[in-house]
């Protein structure tokens, strides 16, 4: 598996994974259909924005997927606290691994790369969502705050 920054040619596969994430999460309960052209325009902006990150995991020959297929995505923004403008932190807004590639450490590897990027940008910590339960197909999410300044 190769983890790398997203590129323009990745946009169709990223849109597919982000739509799958939407359907598997609490966002899938909101009765709004995705606007693909809007999503594509946003992804293009994020690829080039210095305070935004989109990482993708690309399959290599040791996976059942085709070499080069995208199998995971992690997207995050750097933001400043509203009341403490000197406090910059990372907000993860998407972390998804295709079902056939889960339980292989891909999500953790994507997350580690995102945290490393945030640290190099001087971020204090990270805020991210975590799925706490999938019982009865009900997804419960919680927000987690992680400080990594002293690591």
pLDDT at 135: 46
CB 54 within 8 A of CB 6: yes
Q: For residue range 53-92, list pLDDT tens digits in order.
A: 999 999 986 655 666 799 999 999 999 888 888 888 899 8
Which of the 8 DSSP states describes residue 61?
T
CB 5 within 8 A of CB 48: no
Counts for the chain of helices (H) and strands (E), in that order: 3, 6
Report residue 45 CA to chain centroid gap: 16
Give the three-state DSSP class for 32: coil
> Which range, of 9-13, 21-25, 86-90, 142-146, averages the lowest pLDDT?
142-146
Task: Give 75's contacts (C-beta < 8 A, 6+ positions apart).
Answer: 46, 52, 53, 54, 55, 92, 93, 94, 95
Is pTM beyond 0.85 here?
no
Q: Enter the tokens of residue 21.
A: 């994430």
pLDDT band at 149 (very low <50, low <70, confident <90, very high): low
Rounded to 5°, angle at Cα 123 from 22 and 59: 45
Q: What is the mean pLDDT of residues 89-106?
A: 91
> Which range, of 17-21, 41-45, 133-137, averages the lowest pLDDT?
133-137
Task: Please state, rounded to an integer, the average pLDDT across all residues of the chain.
Answer: 83
Which residue has 């997207």 as its token pair? 75
């Amino acid at each position: 598996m190769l983890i790398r920054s997203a590129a323009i040619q990745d946009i169709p596969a990223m849109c597919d994974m982000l739509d799958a994430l939407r359907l598997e999460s609490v966002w899938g309960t909101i009765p709004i259909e995705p606007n693909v052209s809007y999503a594509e325009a946003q992804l293009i902006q994020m690829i080039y924005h210095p305070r935004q990150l989109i990482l993708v995991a690309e399959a290599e020959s040791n996976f059942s997927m085709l070499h080069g297929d995208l199998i995971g995505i992690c997207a995050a923004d750097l933001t400043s606290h509203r009341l403490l403008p000197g406090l910059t932190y990372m907000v993860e807004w998407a972390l998804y691994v295709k079902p056939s590639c889960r339980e292989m450490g891909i999500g953790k590897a994507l997350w580690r790369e995102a945290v490393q990027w945030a640290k190099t940008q001087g971020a204090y910590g990270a805020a991210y969502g975590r799925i706490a339960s999938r019982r009865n197909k009900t997804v419960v999410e919680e927000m987690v705050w992680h400080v990594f300044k002293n690591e």
